[in-house]
Copies of this chain bind each other. A is one copy, B any other.
Amino acid sequence: MLKGDMEVMYLSANEIEQLEGVEKQHFLNPEALRINKSLGDAVGLRNLGVHQVLVPAGHYSTEYHVHYYEEECIYILSGTGVATLGDQQQRIGPGDFIGCPINGQAHDMFNDGTEPLVCLVIGQRLEQDVTDYPKLGKRLSRNSGEWTVVEHAAITTVRRKKA
C-alpha cells in the first residue's frame, strides 16, 4: 500500500467515500451547491482539477457559465438531473459525459431528482481565465488568484476578436 508514503498516488473507492467533502455554495448563486472532494489535490495534481462533486436534490451544480480558457468536462457517476447546454435541455444519468469546449455554449446542471447527483468534474487549472455568466450579465476574471467581477453592461469592447 502507498498510504503513509509521502507520495500518495492511489485512492481506493472506499478511501474516496471516507474523504470529507467540502460544501461549496457558488459565490453568485445561493441555489448552486455542491459537496466537493478534490481527488486531484489528494494525489498531488497541480494542473488538472479532478473533483468528485455531489449535487444535492433540488440544487444547481453551478451558476450557468462558459469559460474563455479553461476546458472542463463532466462524467456522471450516479443520480439523475437535467443539464442546460446553451439553449438545450438534456436529461443526464450514470455513464453520461458532457464536454465544455471553451468559448462555446454556457452550461449548468440541475438535480431535479430525489437522489444526490454525483459526478466527476475535470478541468484545466490555468493561471488566467475569464468566465461569463450570461443569465446574470456578469463576467469573472481570474488572474493569478485574484478574482474580479464586472457587469456586462460596464464592459466596452475596443477591438473584436479576429474570426
> Whole-angstrom distance from the CB of A30 to the nearest CB of chain B?
15
CA distance A120 to B71 in the complex (A): 17
Given contacts A27-B158, A90-B2, contact A99 B45 (CB under 8 A): yes
Report which residue of A2, A16, A99 has the largest number of chain B beta carbons within 10 angstroms of its beta carbon. Answer: A99
Nearest neighbor of A156 in chain B, beta-carbon distance: B149
A143 and B68 form a contact (CB under 8 A): yes
Taking CB atoms, residues of chain B closer than 8 Å to A130 are 141, 143
Determine if A122 is an interface residue (Cβ-Cβ < 8 Å): yes
Closest 9 pairs between A and B when the two form their complex, measured CB to CB = A43-B99, A13-B95, A154-B154, A147-B158, A147-B159, A44-B101, A146-B161, A11-B97, A145-B161
**Per-residue CB proximity of A37-77 to B under 8 Å, as 1/0?**
00110111111101000000000000000001101010100
- Not counting A13-B93, A140-B158, a sample of 8 additional A-B residue pairs whose C-beta atoms are within 8 angstroms of each other reads A5-B88, A7-B105, A16-B95, A46-B71, A50-B97, A141-B141, A149-B155, A151-B154
> Whole-angstrom distance from the CB of A43 to the nearest CB of chain B?
3
Determine if A135 is an interface residue (Cβ-Cβ < 8 Å): no
Taking CB atoms, residues of chain B closer than 8 Å to A159 are 145-147
CA distance A128 to B145 in the complex (A): 15
Given contacts A7-B105, A47-B71, A73-B40, contact A94 B2 (CB under 8 A): no
B148 and A101 form a contact (CB under 8 A): no
Taking CB atoms, residues of chain B closer than 8 Å to A43 are 73, 97-99, 101
CA distance A13 to B68 in the complex (A): 28
